Every structure is written in C-alpha cells, then in structure tokens.
Structure 1
Amino acid sequence: MRKIAFVFPGQGAQYVGMGKEFVENFKIANDVFEKASNSLGYDMKKLCFEGPEEELKKTENTQPAILTASIASYEVLKEHGIEPKIVAGLSLGEFSALVASKVMAFEDAVRVVKARGKYMQEEVPIGVGTMAAFIGLDREKVIEACNRASEFGVVEPANFNSPIQIVISGEVKAVEKAVKIGKELGAKKAKILKVSAPFHSSMLYGAGEKLAKELHKIELNDFIYPVVANVTADYYDSISSVNELLVRQVSNSVLWEDSVRKMILDGVNTFVEVGPGKALSGFIKRISRDVQILNVEDMTSLEKALKALA
C-alpha cells in the first residue's frame, strides 16, 4: 500500500526560472502566482522567471518566491489527482506544508513569510553571524564542537538534515572555531556557508517575537492533512500550537532527519519533494534507502512522478 508524504523545500532552493513551465502549462499554477503578486504588490512572475538572481536571493524576496513556486507545484499535482497523507517542510517549507493542509490561506502566508524574511535578515547585522555545514560527523560530536567553541560566542546546531549533514549557526568567530574543532573530531568536511544571517539560532529570537505579531493577525483553520513540525519532529496536535511552533522554529534547531524518520515510522513509503530543487530528496536518500523519492518542479519531473505514481 502506497503512503505518500509531500515535503516542501526551504531557503536556498530558489533559482531564476522556477515555476515558469507550470505557469505556462496550467491555469491553476498561473492563479497561484497572480495571487502572490496581488498580495505583495509586485510581479512575482517577473521576480521568479527573470530575477535578477541578486534580487531573488534577498531573504525577504526568497521566502515568498519559494512558497509561491512550491504551492503552484502542489496545485498542479492535486489537479492530477495526487494527494498526500502527510505533509512537512524544511524551515520556510513548513509554511508551504501548512498552506497545503489548508491551515493558512496562501495569500496570508506569502505576506507573513515576506515579513519573516525581513525580520530574520534585520535581526543580526551582516557580517556578525554565519552558518557552517558538517559532513560525516554525528550529532553528538557536532554538539560537542558547538559546546567547546561557545566560549568564543554563540554557536548552536541549526539543522539536523540527515545522518551525514548537520548545519550549525551563530557568531562568526564561534562558528569558525566549531568548524576547526569539528575537523579535529573527524568531520569529513566542515565549511562556512554563504549565508546572510545565523538562521535557526538563538540570535534570531527577536525576529521570532516580531513574527508572532504577524501570525496573530491571520486566521487559522483545521488541518486537512497532518503536518510534522520542525522543532518537535512530531505532528501539530492542534491549530492552537501553530503560531507558537512557527515562532520557536526561527531560533531553534530544525529536526529534519527526525521528522523524516517519524513519517517513515508511520508508514510513509513515498516522498514527493514539491517545489524548486532536490535538496530534500538528497537528505531523505541519506536517511532511508527503503523509500521511493520523487520531486516535482517542472514538466519533466511532473511526468516522471505521474508515471511512477500511476
């Protein structure tokens, strides 16, 4: 028996041209982009299809752009009769999952994530914070590296992506020290990432507080699909917990590996990455070799997925 989970990408998945093929081929995808443009007051198609890349890379533009491309892909899949049993998303992708589950109206979500991106970017001045990725170092040793480097400033695990990839976040000097310690502890690779802020660290606590005010302005509805939350790696138990968990997510670790394991434990045997990029597909492949992994972001990947799911 096939049990499908839809998973939605986070920041970093963006590229110029995302969503274009679906908009050209499906009215439903075009409608999603039109709604985004109307909600935000600028041309989302122009931003996603033409860039420039520098503009698309700005956090407050990236977040609503990825959400839009992801929900356009989701609507196309639904129009083809493919629906999930469970949904989840990495960081920003959790908003896409909540939109797919009808908890949040898409128009509200694009406005909220634009503000979220702005608050996250503004919270820490450029050059003060950074992030780094460890490859091939288990979580206990990554945590040890962070603990040992913390005398140099804030440094914390940010994303537990897969058994072999963990990302840390914090103040530049402390992150650099943790990278050095991580290499000594046996990391195959440890490198500073090109990011504009120390995402998912306690340094962004204030951004979460500002996000809370935005979230309180919007109406939430009951879930049509169960949604796995990043900070608990478990299902939301009620809509009353949505705002709190989304706020906590800004300054806490994203438990992606644990979230995927939870879904597999509950019988998910097919994951469809819905939206730009294949980063989540790569993580899931590292977590389990026993599940089917597909992605849907353009006409070629859609046809391949529909054939596999037929």
Structure 2
Amino acid sequence: MSQIQYAMLFPGQGSQAVGMLSGHADPIVRATFDEASQALGWDLTALVADGPLESLNQTARTQPALLAAGIAVWRLWQARELPPPVALAGHSLGEYTALVAAGALAFDDALKLVELRGQLMQSAVPEGVGGMAAVVGLDDAAVEAFCGDYPGDGVLEPANYNAPGQVVIAGNVPALEWLEGEGKARGARMIVRLPMSVPSHCSLLRGAADRLAERLAQTAIHKPAIGIRHNLDGRPRGDADGIRRALHEQLFRPVRWSATVTQLREEGVTTFFECGPGKVLVGLNKRIAKDLTSIALEDGDGMGKAQVAVKA
C-alpha cells in the first residue's frame, strides 16, 4: 500500500448547499445528520435535505450543518479502513470539525459550541454595520498596508489569508466602501464584496470571542489523536488550554490558511483531501501548492479517486 503523506482538510462557511452530500449513497451520512439533529434539538437532517436555503444560510444553522457534513464524510472515509492522515486542518469553522475527527472534541459538544458560535457572531455586529470583501491581485503586505491607510475611525482588517493574491478583509461598511473606491489605484485586480453581514475574524468580534471562551472553559477537550494545524499560525497544539486559546483567538484574528497549507507541505504532505461538501479548499490549494494533489470528497466519485490515490 502507498505511503503517501496526506492531510484531511475541513471546509468552513460558504461550502453549504441544500442537498449537500447527496452524492454519497451510504446510510452513514443520514445517520450522522440524524445524530446531529438529536443533539441540537432541531431537524438538521430535513434542513440539509430540503432547505430552505435562507434558513441553511443563517450562521447558527450553517455552522452545525457543515460540521455534521464534515464528520459524515470523515466517517465514510474511516469505514474504508485506510491509513490515517498525518495531519488535519480546518478553515475557520472547519477547525472544530477537525477537532472532532481527531477525538479532541465530542461530536455533540462541538455541535452545540458552533451553534452558539454562530449565534454570538450574528449578534455581535448589527445587520448592515459590518461585512467582508475579497481583495484579489495584491500580496499580503500590500493588503495590510492598504488597510492601515484607512483614514476613518472604523475597523478594516485582514480576516482570511486564503491564497497568494487573495485576502479577505473584514470591517465596518464605510471602511469597506473606502476599500472598494481605492482598490484600483492601489493595484488590486478586483475587490468583491461578499454576501456576509458578519465581519468574521476581526476585532469587531472580540466580545463574541470572549463569550465563546466562557463556554469553551466548560467543555471537555482532549489531546488530539491526530495533529491539527490551527488557523492562527499553522501550528499544532496538544493541550486543552492551548486548544481553547486557539479557538478563542481564532474568532477575532485572521485565518492564515495559506500559511497552514504551506506548513503542511513543508512537513512532507503531498496530497490533500477536502473532507466535506464543496470544493472551496481544493480551489485555494491549487493556488497555494500547485504541484500537490488536492481532491474533494463531496461525492462518491471524489471518494473513489482519493481511495485510489492512497492505495496507488
């Protein structure tokens, strides 16, 4: 059997869709969604299968739905009894999914945590006050300088270092409007406002993060059985307090996804599998590590290709 070094990556918000994982004809998927429904006290199974999309896109619903979807795919993968990954990582919300997969968080505890996380995020900034925008075509330093030059009093901060030449900015609406107006003069190829009212991973969510930390302090966290590379710096943490701090800070500090994938590459990972719905991380990885293999496991075809890659 192949000795390829592979990592599992778990997606965050933006990968959800009504009917997600319908390409997997396996009772494990339905059983996982049903288990999540029971833990949460509302019908996640029906929401994922039938929508409506407006409800699925509500942050407090999106987060547990995506966590459950990621764990369903992880369980499908485990059922094939293949060699385990050398590392795990998750983009934003996906970090919680990775912790469940690694045995550091119980599934039901994680579902309730991310439901609360979504509620706190949505209530932290009133509708219409904040948002996010993607800056395309500038390097990280140029984007940081761009944000630092904002002449107003509001927040304008890098939130997601997603890939070379693609950084997502979070902040107050007037600051984002200034960013859009100045983008061309600064050399940005595009500045695209994202359909998100919550300005994630910036200082506007510091209060929400502090409230989440109170729940994290009451939640059992164990040493991960597989190393997890955290969003803050791409580095693993093996102790409960370190993991709690990482999850707390993750909410108001930027996601360093490009650095995380680069770190895994430097550690010898040659193949990445996106463990959940969608292909967002596969797309980003093609820009970060073009010479490495990235495969989405969102359906049976992807799972089959990944299994062949591991056994080749």
TM superposition score normalised by structure 2: 0.96
Would you say the 8 A contact 1:295–1:301 is kept in 2?
Answer: yes
- 25-34 vs 249-258, which moves further: 25-34
Superposition deviation, residue 242 in structure 1: 0.9
What's the CA shift string for 1:107-132, capped at 9, x where partnerless?
11001000000000000000000110
Which residue matches 2:101? 100
- 237-246 vs 105-114, which moves further: 237-246
| Aligned-partner Cα distance in 1 for 2:74–2:234 | 22
**Change over 3 Å in CA distance of 1:67–1:151 after alignment to 2:** same
Would you say the 8 A contact 1:19–1:49 is kept in 2?
Answer: no
Output the amino acid matched with 1:246. L
Would you say the 8 A contact 1:9–1:279 is kept in 2?
Answer: yes
Which residue matches 1:280? 281
Superposition deviation, residue 307 in structure 1: 2.5
Would you say the 8 A contact 2:274–2:281 is kept in 1?
Answer: yes
Superposition deviation, residue 152 in structure 1: 4.4
Which residue matches 1:39? 39
| Aligned-partner Cα distance in 2 for 1:278–1:21 | 14
The alignment covers a number of residue pairs equal to: 308
Which residue matches 1:248? 249
What's the CA shift string for 1:198-234, capped at 9, x where partnerless?
1111001111011112212221112110001101221
| Aligned-partner Cα distance in 2 for 1:265–1:179 | 35
| Aligned-partner Cα distance in 2 for 1:289–1:197 | 31
Which residue matches 1:3? 5
| Aligned-partner Cα distance in 2 for 1:183–1:141 | 13
Which residue matches 1:85? 86
Would you say the 8 A contact 2:9–2:88 is kept in 1?
Answer: yes
- 125-134 vs 286-295, which moves further: 286-295
- 212-221 vs 111-120, which moves further: 212-221
**Unmatched 5+ stretches in structure 2:** none
Matched, 1:197 2:198: yes
| Aligned-partner Cα distance in 1 for 2:275–2:140 | 28
What's the CA shift string for 1:230-279, capped at 9, x where partnerless?
01221114222111110111111000000001000000000000001111
Matches within 5 A, 1:78-157: 78-82=78-82, 83-157=84-158
Would you say the 8 A contact 1:131–1:195 is kept in 2?
Answer: yes
Matched, 1:18 2:33: no
What's the CA shift string for 1:276-304, capped at 9, x where partnerless?
11111111110112211111012222222
What's the CA shift string for 1:37-93, capped at 9, x where partnerless?
111011111011111000000000000000001100011011112321100000000
Matches within 5 A, 1:149-188: 149-188=150-189
Would you say the 8 A contact 1:149–1:175 is kept in 2?
Answer: no
SS in structure 2 at match of 1:234: coil
- 229-238 vs 204-213, which moves further: 229-238
Would you say the 8 A contact 1:19–1:48 is kept in 2?
Answer: no
Output the amino acid matched with 2:68. T
SS in structure 1 at match of 2:161: strand
Output the amino acid matched with 1:213. E
| Aligned-partner Cα distance in 2 for 1:175–1:223 | 38
SS in structure 2 at match of 1:149: coil
| Aligned-partner Cα distance in 2 for 1:150–1:163 | 26
TM superposition score normalised by structure 1: 0.96
SS in structure 2 at match of 1:208: helix
| Aligned-partner Cα distance in 1 for 2:151–2:287 | 29
Report the aligned-residue RMSD: 1.2
| Aligned-partner Cα distance in 1 for 2:6–2:80 | 15
| Aligned-partner Cα distance in 2 for 1:145–1:180 | 12
Would you say the 8 A contact 1:141–1:182 is kept in 2?
Answer: no
**Unmatched 5+ stretches in structure 1:** none
Matched, 1:71 2:71: yes
SS in structure 1 at match of 2:251: helix
Output the amino acid matched with 2:126. P
| Aligned-partner Cα distance in 1 for 2:139–2:151 | 19
Percent identity of the aligned residues? 39
- 205-214 vs 235-244, which moves further: 235-244
Superposition deviation, residue 309 in structure 1: 2.5
SS in structure 1 at match of 2:88: strand
